[in-house]
Amino acid sequence: MPRKMTRAKAHDLFARLAAAAPEPQTELHFTNPFTLVVAVALSAQATDEGVNKATKPLFTVADTPEAMAALGVERLGDYIKTIGLWRNKAKNVIALSQMLLDEFDGKVPETREALERLPGVGRKTANVVLNVAFGQPTIAVDTHIFRVGNRTGLAPGKTPLDVELGLEKIIPDDFILHAHHWLILHGRYVCKARRPECWRCALVDLCGFKDKVMSPDKPKAKKTAKAKKTPAKPTKKLAATPKLRAATRKKAAS
C-alpha cells in the first residue's frame, strides 16, 4: 500500500483534475431526481452506456414513480433485459417507486438514511443521488474511486467505506462537490484497472503507486527456450520369423 498522500499534494491533485474538467458530469442519462435514482440502481455491475441505451425508451414512458409503478415488473423487464441482473433490478425499481408513492409523497428524499430505505438503494447509490441531484458534498465510492484512492495514496483503505471516510478527510473543501466525478473519470480513462496509463497521467509526480506503467508499449512476451531436439528412436529390426529364415536359407543354397 502506498504512503498516505499529504494535504498539500492532495490539493495539487484536485487542482489539476479541476483544471482539466471544470464541470464534470455523470455519464448516466437522467431527467429528474427519480430517473437518476432508477439509472443509478440499474447501473450496478453494468456499464453507463448499457444503462443509457435501456433507459432512453424507458424514461419516455415512465419518468415518475406513478408511471413506473403502473408499468409493473414484467413490462419494466422488457425495457431492461439487456442489463445484468435485470430481474432483481426490475423488482427493486417497482418496489422503490411504490415506496416513494406510499411514504414520500412521490418525491425522492434528500437524506442518506431515507434514500437507503428504498429497495435496491445502498450507500453508494444514495451518495450519487445526494451529490448529483441535490448538490451535497458526498463521495460515492465505486470500483474506480476505490482503486484510485488506494493506488495514489489519497485515501488507502480496505473497504469502500474506509476509502470514502478517508477521502472526506483529505479532499479540500473547494473541491469536494465534484471530487467523486473527477476520480471516477480519472479511474475510468487513465488509471485503468489492468494497466494504468501512468505515462500520460497528469498526477504522476504526486501519485504514490509503486508499479507505475511508464510506457504505452506492452511488455513483450518472454521467449521460451527452444525445445531440445530429441534424437529419433532407432527403429527396431523386425525379428525374422521361422518361415522367413527358411526361405532365406533356401535362396542361399540355390
- Distance of closest approach, residue 224 Cβ to ligand SF4, in angstroms: 30
Question: What CA–CA distance (Å, rounded) separates 233 from 48?
Answer: 62
Q: How far is the CB of 180 from ligand SF4 (least distance, A)?
A: 16
- Closest distance of CB 206 from ligand SF4, Å: 8
Identify whether 226 is a catalytic site residue: no
Please, which residue, 166 or 196, has the CB nearer to ligand SF4? 196
Of 12, 102, 124, 228, the active-site residue reads: 124
Residue indicated by cell numbers 448499457 = 50
Q: What is the largest CA-CA distance in the chain?
A: 119
Catalytic residue among 91, 107, 142, 236: 142
User: What ranges in the chain are assigned the alpha helix state H?
Assistant: 7-20, 33-42, 48-61, 65-80, 86-103, 112-116, 123-132, 143-152, 160-170, 176-189, 242-253
142 is catalytic: yes
- CA 99, 104, 109, 111 dihedral sign is negative
Summarize as ranges the residues that interact with ligand SF4 (CB under 6 A): 151-152, 190-191, 196-198, 201, 203-204, 207, 209, 212
Q: Calculate Rg over the CA atoms of the chain.
A: 31
Helix (H) or strand (E) holding 160: helix 160-170
Query: Which CB sits closer to ligand SF4, 99 or 213?
Result: 213
- Cβ closest to ligand SF4, residue 89 vs residue 147: 147
Smallest distance, ligand SF4 to C-beta of residue 17, A: 10
Nearest to 43 by CA among 74, 89, 78: 89
Closer residue to ligand SF4 in complex, CB, 84/172: 172
Q: Which residues are catalytic?
A: 124, 142
